[in-house]
């Protein structure tokens, strides 16, 4: 297994980097950055490795490497970064082993399928992958109460929904379709209309589908943020990086809505100054 990792991850000016900068400086931010880099490394395996069996073996290797790192010095530099000089992964400072393995198992599903039959199956996958990754981020930032960790996972669900919408056309070019078939049927939209759009204009039925998807993304995010405000200050602070990321995503969702959801033919991004201002406002308001 290669020990190469992208040391520039998160990219300067990216939403992830701005969220990372909202974590407390020092060990917490360093450990959160290492967690983000680890998640990026494993989560891109299903889409970047063309042979499903090779991708599955890579993920199986990671599952064993993580389990071993809780008992002995880690082999991979990303895991060593999370050890922060300790002989093994500190079970008090990093998420429990079960959370790591849950994410890896969720990613292994993607080596076998590129579409989803129903929304319930997709949601189980989202909770086990992005949801668990966000729960792990909250843990690294000091969250320990079950309510806080559950809210972090719910935020992850909303963030992933938003990510699916923003990347819909880009993923379709690679053969991926993450909007489930039962959702397509509800809106009388066929898969090929998203995978191979006939024109640059978004047809009304597809626009209605995407608007509904956006609304559910917003609902997931806003309800979790509202409940998080009732948490004790230390627990609420642990969710600050996720709150920043959530505000950046809701701003992007608003832009997509105003533009008429051109996601099948182009990728929409927040401008750098607006992104910086949105992140700063989110930090100010998350006290």
Residues 6 or more apart in contact with residue 209 via CB below 8 angstroms: 179, 183, 184, 187, 189
What element of type H or E holds 115? Answer: none
Give me the mean pLDDT over the 4-19 stretch.
78
Q: What is the pLDDT of residue 57?
A: 98
Residues 270 and 193 in one domain: yes
Single pTM value for the model: 0.95
9 or 271, which is more confident: 271
Residues 274 and 155 in one domain: yes
Q: How many CB atoms lie within 10 A of CB 276?
A: 14
pLDDT single digits (tens) 250-262: 999 999 999 999 9
| pLDDT over 80 (residue 48) | yes
Residues 95 and 175 in one domain: no
| pLDDT over 50 (residue 22) | yes
Q: What is the pLDDT of residue 84?
A: 85
Residues 192 and 80 in one domain: no
Q: What is the pLDDT of residue 9?
A: 77
| pLDDT over 60 (residue 123) | yes
Residues 193 and 275 in one domain: yes
Q: Which two tokens stand for residue 95?
A: 């998420």
- Report DSSP letters for 135-154, one per residue: HHHHHHTT--SHHHHHHHHH
Tell me whether residue 221 is in a domain: yes
| Of the candidates 148, 172, 134, 177, the residue with the CA atom closest to the CA atom of residue 236 | 148
Tell me whether residue 138 is in a domain: no
Q: What is the pLDDT of residue 252?
A: 98
Q: What is the pLDDT of residue 8?
A: 64
Tell me whether residue 123 is in a domain: no
Tell me whether residue 9 is in a domain: no
Q: What is the pLDDT of residue 201?
A: 81
Residues 47 and 159 in one domain: no
Q: How many CB atoms lie within 10 A of CB 261?
A: 20
Residues 181 and 224 in one domain: yes
pLDDT single digits (tens) 73-100: 998 999 999 998 888 998 888 999 999 9
| pLDDT over 80 (residue 27) | yes
Q: What is the pLDDT of residue 5?
A: 45
Q: What is the pLDDT of residue 200?
A: 75
Residues 45 and 91 in one domain: yes
Residues 181 and 253 in one domain: yes
Residues 158 and 248 in one domain: yes
Tell me whether residue 1 is in a domain: no
What element of type H or E holds 242? Answer: helix 240-258
User: Which residue has tokens 């006290």?
Assistant: 287
Range of the domain at 255: 145-282
User: Which residue has tokens 């640059």?
Assistant: 200
| pLDDT over 60 (residue 1) | no
Tell me whether residue 140 is in a domain: no
| Of the candidates 263, 267, 163, the residue with the CA atom closest to the CA atom of residue 217 | 163
Percent of the chain with pLDDT over 90: 86
Residues 261 and 203 in one domain: yes
Instruction: Using alpha carbons, list the distances in angstroms from residue 287 to 154, 181, 219, 223, 230.
Output: 20, 41, 22, 18, 12
Give me the mean pLDDT over the 62-75 stretch.
96
| Of the candidates 177, 204, 283, 275, the residue with the CA atom closest to the CA atom of residue 240 | 283
CATH, residue 219: 1.10.600.10
Last residue of a domain, one of 70, 89, 112: 112
At residue 105 the predicted structure's pLDDT band, cuts being 50, 70 and 90, is very high
pLDDT single digits (tens) 200-226: 788 999 999 999 999 999 999 999 999
Give me the mean pLDDT over the 17-38 stretch.
94
Tell me whether residue 53 is in a domain: yes
Tell me whether residue 134 is in a domain: no
Residues 186 and 255 in one domain: yes
d(CA 53, CA 125): 20
Q: How many domains does the chain have?
A: 2
Q: Which two tokens stand for residue 180?
A: 């489930």
Q: Which of 9-13, 120-124, 263-267 is predicted most confidently?
A: 120-124
Per the prediction, the chain carries an average pLDDT of: 94
């Amino acid at each position: 297994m290669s020990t190469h990792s992208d040391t520039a991850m998160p990219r300067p000016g990216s939403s992830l980097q701005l969220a990372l900068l909202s974590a407390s400086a020092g060990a917490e931010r360093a450990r959160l950055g290492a967690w983000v880099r680890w998640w990026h490394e494993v989560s891109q395996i299903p889409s970047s490795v063309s042979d499903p069996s090779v991708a599955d073996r890579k993920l199986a290797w990671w599952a064993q490497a993580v389990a071993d790192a809780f008992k002995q010095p880690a082999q991979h530099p990303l895991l060593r970064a999370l050890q922060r000089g300790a002989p093994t992964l500190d079970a008090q400072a990093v998420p429990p082993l079960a959370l790591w393995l849950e994410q890896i198992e969720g990613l292994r599903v993607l080596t076998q399928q590129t579409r989803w039959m129903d929304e319930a199956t997709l949601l189980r996958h989202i909770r086990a992958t992005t949801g668990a990754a966000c729960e792990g981020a909250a843990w690294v930032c000091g969250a320990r109460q079950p309510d806080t960790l559950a809210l972090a996972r719910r935020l992850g669900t909303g963030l992933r929904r938003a990510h699916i919408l923003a990347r819909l056309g880009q993923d379709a070019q690679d053969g991926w379709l993450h909007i489930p078939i039962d959702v397509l049927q509800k809106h009388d939209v066929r898969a090929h209309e998203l995978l191979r759009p006939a024109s640059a204009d978004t047809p009304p039925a597809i626009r209605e589908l995407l608007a509904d998807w956006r609304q559910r993304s917003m609902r997931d995010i806003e309800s979790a943020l509202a409940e998080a405000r009732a948490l004790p200050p230390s627990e609420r602070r642990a969710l600050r990086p996720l709150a920043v990321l959530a505000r950046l995503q809701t701003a992007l969702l608003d832009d997509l809505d105003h533009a008429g959801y051109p996601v099948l033919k182009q990728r929409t991004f927040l401008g750098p100054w607006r992104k910086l201002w949105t992140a700063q406002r989110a930090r100010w308001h998350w006290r």
